[in-house]
Structure 1
Amino acid sequence: MAATLPGGILTAAIIALFLCRTTRTVTCELFPMTLSLERAIPLNNKMKLSELKARDSARHRRLIQSSNDTGFTLEGTYDPYGAGIYYTKVQLGSPPRDFHLQVDTGSDPLWVTCSSCSGCPNKTELQIELSSFDPGKSSTHTPVTCTDSICNSEYQSPEAMCSKNNRCTYTFQYADDSASAGYYVTDLIHFATPVSNGSSPVIFGCSTELTGNLATNNSRGVDGIIGFGRGDTSVISQLSSKRLVPKVFSHCLRGDDQGGGTLVLGEIVDPHIVFTPLVPSRTHYNLDLKGIEVKGQNLEIDSSVLQALENQGTVVDSGTTMAYLPDVVYDSFLNAISAATPVESLTGTYVADGYSQCFWAKKSISEVFPNVSLNFAGGASMVLKPKDYLTDGEKGWCIGIQKMEGSQAFTILGDIVLKDRIIVYDLAGQRIGWADYDCSRPFNVSGKLNRAPGSRRDASRGSPREAGTLAFFLSLICILLFFSICA
């Protein structure tokens, strides 16, 4: 079943049966949930391409530093908080306190700055008030000890280890020599709904020290990071393991000047969504890119360059601003774009910041530049219109898809190609889906909790009106059951 939810508003809806148990604390399933997203850098705040590329460089170092992939080093100066330009507000502890957290699909844990933190940001250029977590002021806080699973067996690593005082501590070391260190705690994360308030205990990090570019010189600091990676410690994995939400999340990032968007703990459904399988046994959201077409013509490249191997392949990452191609693929891509663009439609070309090809166009870019198709395993294609791979430069239009310098063979799909699309991360089905969409509009969200791994749903079954009506009546029935069973 599906219910229609407004995009870009901090809200949630109960559209499925409450499963309650009569314990000291009543716990009910609350799904799907939506959170509003804000941009750390508004789209109308112009930045040089060199600045954007430097910010992305830090992101890529963080992405690969936490995985088993090798050889992913980029040159340049960078700011690790440039890793994500979207953040959201969540509540932690008892009484609940607001924290503004960077949404990160490239890492797993949630961590916030601790009240005893050394080197944590005390000011920010963002229009938010910074907070820190004080375990002593939360009545529901409990420390994670050395006997907890996160601190033993497969979790035993430099990121989670036992301290002398029986605390489970962590150190997240980034490739630019910045780091976040602290200890794990368990406390409540809260989700507001139209008819009730839901909460669930989750394990997250309380950072007592930040160093390097994560520290006080970070001008775009937030209160921490909320991870939505594929690992067991991510928020989506923790909540879905307790059957509070489906093991799927979605986002819709607005590409207009207002920016922002919506993050959904659940599945946005749309009849136009196409899916491609995730590459198994990988840390990040790796896809199998089969080929690239420019104006319907395949790029003449060695297909082995695109293969999903340990040290190469394609990664979907909402924390990266632009998109990146391996050098040999980029050169072929740029040549194909130039060949498919009529010379008479241009007044000239130039190179920005010493590396980015730019154009002066006589007409709108949709009339001048070709469409690009990224073709993935399973027959799914992501069609990029000119607005999806060009950036508005100071003088003209510049290619927003950049070259991975050196011997790197990774393709990174960042916000420039993910914006104005529904993106579904289906961890239960081990697949990712997308569809073009105006993210300022309402959309349909699935409330189905259980689904067999690898199963496929036909999103076109049933009209939104029929689904919304069904959800409405089921919600009324469920609320009555809630009061009769759980009271």
Structure 2
Amino acid sequence: MQTTMLSVSTFFHLILLLFSLADLLNAAAAADYLKLPLLHKNPFSSPSQALSSDTHRLSLLFSALRRRPNPTLKSPLISGASTGSGQYFVDLRIGTPPQSLLLVADTGSDLVWVKCSACRNCSHHPPSSAFLPRHSSSFSPFHCFDPHCRLLPHAPPHLCNHTRLHSPCRFLYTYADGSTSSGFFSKETTTLKTLSGSETRLKDLSFGCGFRISGPSVSGAQFNGARGVMGLGRGPISFSTQLGRRFGNKFSYCLMDYTLSPPPTSYLMIGGGLRSLPVTNATKISYTPLLINPLSPTFYYIAVKSITVDGVKLPINPTVWAIDEQGNGGTVVDSGTTLTYLAEEAYKEVLKAVRQRVKLPAAAELTPGFDLCVNVSKESQRPSLPRVRFRVGNGAVFAPPARNYFLETVEGVMCLAIRAVEGGNGFSVIGNLMQQGFLLEFDKEASRLGFSRRGCGLP
């Protein structure tokens, strides 16, 4: 009974949120879809940076699990590889006049938040280092009694001052390693470019204006270069949900290979997606259902049915992929994790099969953090490596190229970029390296994930 009441309350608040976005949706009515560049930089300076970034990332994802309480916009995604973060960044312009900030594009969280500064005279302030709400005529924090405030996953009700007429809605976001972001939950105008290149101003985007940011997860090397997070999860306050109704409740992105030179541009699209592909590519689109974990509703789960290596199905018990009553297990597609992590039992079988079938000589020594490395220094062309395939729900097959799961850690050495989920808890994760070269569409309306190797490089 209590669960039912909570669901009704959450639904009621979501309806209020959607109505409050009427101006936003009307302003975007002329746009076919929103397309934002995902800005991409250079590869990791060392493989240890990728592993360090993922260690923090998985800690955040697993702790979130334990905490559980038609048109399109287009934006470029920037890889954070050169900073050691392994993230893809979106350049978001907020405020009036617009201020440009680089945010981590994160399918594993809901809250949109930016680093804010309260200084009055900010002539000394480095450009794009923080959002300056005093310099924006459209900035407005929510009142702590506003229904939007109740949509926060961990809203601290004790911070609401019952005696003050203008007590702002405060948010406090805490990560597993003790890192925190806190400040005012607010609304602001954003300025985005459509596919045609014209600008669209969207009103009343709900976001966290963080005045106090501390800890390695939000200020360390893996976060270097970013000024906040663009949450793209399934919750009511995520960026994709807030813009969702006008744009078909879907978003998509294509992560291009960051080892190419010059690096091609990746894109995040709100709306559009796979339906915008040429008709000739329609048969190349595969779909698999998106699953919902009631104890962790933010994440995008898919059902992995089996794994093959060079066409041979591995002897992995199907229960390895199941979500248990405590919310553990399952497989999450996450843009914020670099490598792919599999349940330990599944990982052991993959490692064994790949090791048996790889034809290249072993590297003189293993790169720290990896269990299988091969010497490719004598390969004049792309090395021949075992083919790993994932059969997922609805009979679809996710068949990435070997460069999506073999990473060049030093010159002439490539290592298997799949790791085990240690400790027996948490869930398997399909990371952004494994996703490269695929156009992925997260269709929340139809509750399905579409993926295609065609159309990823289209403008």
TM above 0.5: yes
Inter-partner Cα distance in structure 2 for 1:28 and 1:161: 37
Q: Map Cα deviations across residues 196-251 of structure 1 (whole Å, 9 max, x no partner).
A: 5332221111101011115666571322111111100011111224x2x2211110
Name the CA shift for 1:364/1:294 in 2 (closer, same or farther; >3 Å). farther
1:132 aligns with 2:130: yes
Partner SS for 1:432:
strand
Inter-partner Cα distance in structure 2 for 1:284 and 1:239: 18
Inter-partner Cα distance in structure 2 for 1:432 and 1:211: 35
1:306 aligns with 2:321: yes
Aligned to 1:337: 354
Identity percentage over the alignment? 27
Alignment of 1:193-232 (within 5 A): 193=194, 194-195=197-198, 197-214=200-217, 218=221, 220-232=224-236
Aligned residues: 395
Partner SS for 2:27:
coil
1:265 aligns with 2:270: yes
Aligned to 1:434: 451
From 274, 286, 299, the counterpart of 1:274: 286
1:157 aligns with 2:154: yes
Name the CA shift for 1:296/1:161 in 2 (closer, same or farther; >3 Å). farther
- Residues 28 and 200 of structure 2 are in contact (CA less than 8 Å); yes or no, is this contact kept in structure 1? no
Aligned residue type for 1:208: F
From 104, 107, 113, the counterpart of 1:105: 107
Inter-partner Cα distance in structure 2 for 1:215 and 1:268: 30
Aligned to 1:5: none
Aligned to 1:325: 342
Partner SS for 2:104:
strand
1:114 aligns with 2:111: no
Inter-partner Cα distance in structure 2 for 1:204 and 1:356: 41
Alignment of 1:23-38 (within 5 A): 27-29=27-29, 30-38=31-39
- Residues 193 and 200 of structure 2 are in contact (CA less than 8 Å); yes or no, is this contact kept in structure 1? yes
Aligned to 2:386: 370
Aligned to 2:58: 60
Aligned to 2:304: 289
Inter-partner Cα distance in structure 1 for 2:427 and 2:152: 27
Aligned to 1:470: none
Name the CA shift for 1:393/1:355 in 2 (closer, same or farther; >3 Å). closer
Aligned residue type for 2:397: S
Structure 2 gap segments, 5+ residues each: 1-21, 69-82
Name the CA shift for 1:349/1:35 in 2 (closer, same or farther; >3 Å). same
- Which of the pair is proportionally richer in helix? 2
* Cα shift at 1:306: 1.2
Aligned to 2:188: 187
* Cα shift at 1:346: 3.0
Inter-partner Cα distance in structure 2 for 1:430 and 1:102: 24
Aligned residue type for 1:441: L
Inter-partner Cα distance in structure 2 for 1:323 and 1:210: 29
Aligned to 2:17: none
Larger displacement relative to structure 2 (359-368 or 268-277) = 359-368
- Residues 58 and 82 of structure 1 are in contact (CA less than 8 Å); yes or no, is this contact kept in structure 2? no
Aligned residue type for 1:262: Y
1:382 aligns with 2:388: no
Inter-partner Cα distance in structure 2 for 1:366 and 1:159: 54
* Cα shift at 1:110: 1.1
Q: Map Cα deviations across residues 336-378 of structure 1 (whole Å, 9 max, x no partner).
A: 1122223xx4366642215431012454686632211111111
From 142, 145, 148, the counterpart of 2:146: 148
- Residues 86 and 260 of structure 1 are in contact (CA less than 8 Å); yes or no, is this contact kept in structure 2? no
* Cα shift at 1:54: 1.4
Q: Map Cα deviations across residues 409-445 of structure 1 (whole Å, 9 max, x no partner).
A: 6211111110111011111111111112474433xxx
Structure 1 gap segments, 5+ residues each: 1-21, 71-80, 443-487
Inter-partner Cα distance in structure 1 for 2:354 and 2:315: 13
- Residues 327 and 408 of structure 1 are in contact (CA less than 8 Å); yes or no, is this contact kept in structure 2? no
TM-score, reference length from structure 1: 0.74
- Residues 305 and 409 of structure 1 are in contact (CA less than 8 Å); yes or no, is this contact kept in structure 2? no
Name the CA shift for 1:112/1:367 in 2 (closer, same or farther; >3 Å). closer
Q: Which has the higher contact order (CA 8 A, sep 6+)?
A: 1
Aligned residue type for 1:435: S
Give RMSD over aligned pairs.
2.9
Aligned to 1:251: 253
Aligned to 1:452: none
Partner SS for 2:291:
coil
